[in-house]
Amino acid sequence: MKAATLLAFGSPLSIGAVPDPVPGTGEVVVDVVATGVLPYTADVFSGARRYPLELPVVPGCGAVGRVRTTGPDATRLSPGDWVFCDPTVRSRDGGLAPDITLQGWSSRGEGGLRLQKYFHNGPFAERMMVPTENAIPLGVIDEADAGRWCAAGVALVPYGGLLATGLQAGETLLVSGATGNYGSAAVATALAMGAGCVVAPGRNERTLADLVRRFGSRVRPVTLAGNEDADRARMQAAASGPIDCVLDILPPSVSATVVRAAVMAVRPFGRAVLMGGVGMLGGDDLSLPYPWIMRNCVSIQGQWMFEPSAVFGIIALVRAGLLDLGQFEVSEFALDNANEAVAHAAAHAGSFRITVIRP
């Protein structure tokens, strides 16, 4: 089969033939119809993101496709079924703390690296093998819409964080990083879940205005000025009442003071979930005052990616018409043009844009 392979960090993808995957027990081979190219893909391939990724590898992070073959223990999936390939692979012997690898993308810890050696190659290929539980049925879709369904994978990441916040209908949420690719998807997803008000801080006034245009008065934009205390006060003033929970999804390039300004805007007994990349590439770590956390009974949680059930939830939100994937502008490339797709994703990063490879 044909695939795009990353042979070395800093080198372009090599397009050529690789062996076909062969499924065993607990595995499924999927014909990849569309796979999203994340805006920071070029930084991963250059090595700038320092992701633990063993090379050579067929990269990528999640896909939409059709089942080709299944292992002997599959009881529901059949060849031809449309599925979403969840990239978050968990060790089956991990019990309460499974090791995790993002297939074709990254991993966590020594156990995640071991898992990556087996579930190694990602979706920049005509076919990929995934654990049976990672092939999530989509139901019937139009093949022409497969690229747009990749946008569900963008919304799925912040959805995992929103589930971790315990967001309830009618609550006020603050999305730290609301003008980014994942952050803007977080705003859309939170509103689909019934958030009464979403405070959206950011520096890009054009994107903030676009969020209001798309979603109306339930979005409360806040232009950040760079002063931590003043920015926090503006976020709190923009809300319709106390801020119940905060989701931080800022990238590694942002200062930790921006995160702290947002997190400390939450009300007493509020919740904050951290799932961005701040501090991953050096710089100051997030410093939160112990007395403030303790005396205000604030809950702070880390969340990497999402729980397995979240995939079913995001599909249900789309099927119900609550989350509109039509909000996303989709740009598609053939597998032979994978390097052009990576460059396009970097040059056209931003809210409600997705670059897709269609093998």
DSSP states of 134-166 as a string?
GEEE--S--GGGHHHHTHHHHHHHHHHHHHHHT
Mean pLDDT, the chain, rounded, equals: 96
What pLDDT digit, counting tens, does each position of 287-301 carry? 999 999 999 999 999
- Dist. CA 61–CA 56, nearest whole Å: 16
Give me the mean pLDDT over the 19-29 stretch.
94
What pLDDT digit, counting tens, does each position of 95-142 carry? 899 999 999 999 999 999 999 999 999 999 999 999 999 999 999 999
Question: Is 90 exceeded by the pLDDT of residue 353?
Answer: yes
Whole-number pLDDT of residue 285 = 87
* Superfamily for the 2-149+328-358 domain: Medium-chain alcohol dehydrogenases, catalytic domain (3.90.180.10)
Whole-number pLDDT of residue 240 = 84
The pTM (predicted TM-score) of the whole model is 0.95
Domain boundaries, the chain: 2-149+328-358, 157-302
Give me the mean pLDDT over the 201-212 stretch.
96
Count of CB atoms situated within 10 Å of the CB of 74 = 17
What pLDDT digit, counting tens, does each position of 270-328 carry? 999 999 998 888 778 899 999 999 999 999 999 999 999 999 999 999 999 999 999 99
CA distances (Å), origin 288, targets 261, 269, 272, 293: 10, 16, 12, 8
Question: What class, spelled out in words, does domain 157-302 have in CATH?
Answer: alpha beta
List Cβ<8 Å contacts ≥24 apart for 143-149: 143/33, 146/33, 146/34, 146/64, 146/65, 146/358, 147/34, 147/64, 147/330, 147/332, 147/354, 147/356, 147/358, 148/325, 148/326, 148/328, 148/330, 149/34, 149/64, 149/84, 149/318, 149/325
247 DSSP assignment = E
